[in-house]
């Protein structure tokens, strides 16, 4: 995690709510490896993105003030800075297993940087006229049950 040549991004609401002292958010520029021990798995709390086994291990190994592990995005907080990572598919499967059955396998895990197209601040280009032929179609979205969600804004 380096701040050199890193682009500052808007502060996500989940970070503001859980860590009010954070003022800067950056996208990671390199991957980090984390070793999850049996103790991390035993002391972890399900449905809690800052107290799961991977978050506890990352906080311990990186000497971080806090770690938030979400299904798609993870943050490592040090002082007033939050560094944003992508949560890989392998970790996503462990998170679902843990949140539903409190079963997280000890081992080596990796958090990776977001791809250039997914970095915050790059902007998403959407057509102004709605685009597509079927403008009235409703989109069905599936949300997995009994799996963590990061808190949004203030209540």
User: Is residue 130 in a domain?
Assistant: no
d(CA 48, CA 68): 9
How does 62-74 read in b/e, with b if 16+ C-beta sit within 10 Å?
A: bebbbbbbbbebb
**Per-residue confidence (pLDDT) for residue 155, from 0 to 100:** 41
Q: Which residues of the chain have pLDDT under 70?
A: 1-9, 120-137, 142-143, 151-155
The answer to whether the beta carbons of residues 44 and 35 sit under 8 Å apart is no
**Per-residue confidence (pLDDT) for residue 125, from 0 to 100:** 56
- If phi > 0 it is left, if psi is from -120 to 50 it is alpha, else beta; for residue 72 that is alpha
d(CA 32, CA 70): 16
**Per-residue confidence (pLDDT) for residue 18, from 0 to 100:** 87
**Per-residue confidence (pLDDT) for residue 3, from 0 to 100:** 52
Show the domain range for 105: 13-118
Q: What angle do CA 44, 46, 49 make, to 5 degrees?
A: 85
User: Is residue 132 in a domain?
Assistant: no
The answer to whether the beta carbons of residues 76 and 1 sit under 8 Å apart is yes
The answer to whether the beta carbons of residues 119 and 7 sit under 8 Å apart is yes
User: Is residue 5 in a domain?
Assistant: no
**Per-residue confidence (pLDDT) for residue 131, from 0 to 100:** 58
User: How many domains are there within the chain?
Assistant: 1
**Per-residue confidence (pLDDT) for residue 10, from 0 to 100:** 72
**Per-residue confidence (pLDDT) for residue 42, from 0 to 100:** 94
User: Is residue 137 in a domain?
Assistant: no
């Amino acid at each position: 995690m380096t701040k050199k040549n890193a682009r500052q991004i808007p502060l996500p609401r989940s970070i503001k709510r859980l860590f009010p002292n954070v003022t800067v958010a950056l996208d990671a520029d390199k991957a980090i490896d984390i070793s999850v021990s049996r103790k991390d798995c035993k002391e972890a709390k399900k449905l809690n993105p800052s107290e799961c086994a991977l978050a506890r291990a990352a906080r311990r190994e990186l000497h971080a003030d806090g770690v938030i592990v979400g299904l798609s995005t993870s943050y490592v907080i040090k002082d007033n800075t939050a560094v944003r990572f992508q949560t890989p598919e392998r970790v996503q499967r462990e998170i679902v297993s843990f949140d539903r059955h409190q079963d997280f396998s000890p081992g080596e895990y990796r958090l990776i940087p977001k791809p250039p197209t997914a970095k915050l601040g790059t902007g998403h280009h959407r057509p102004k006229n709605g685009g597509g032929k079927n403008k009235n179609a409703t989109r069905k979205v599936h949300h997995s049950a009994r799996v963590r969600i990061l808190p949004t804004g203030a209540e």
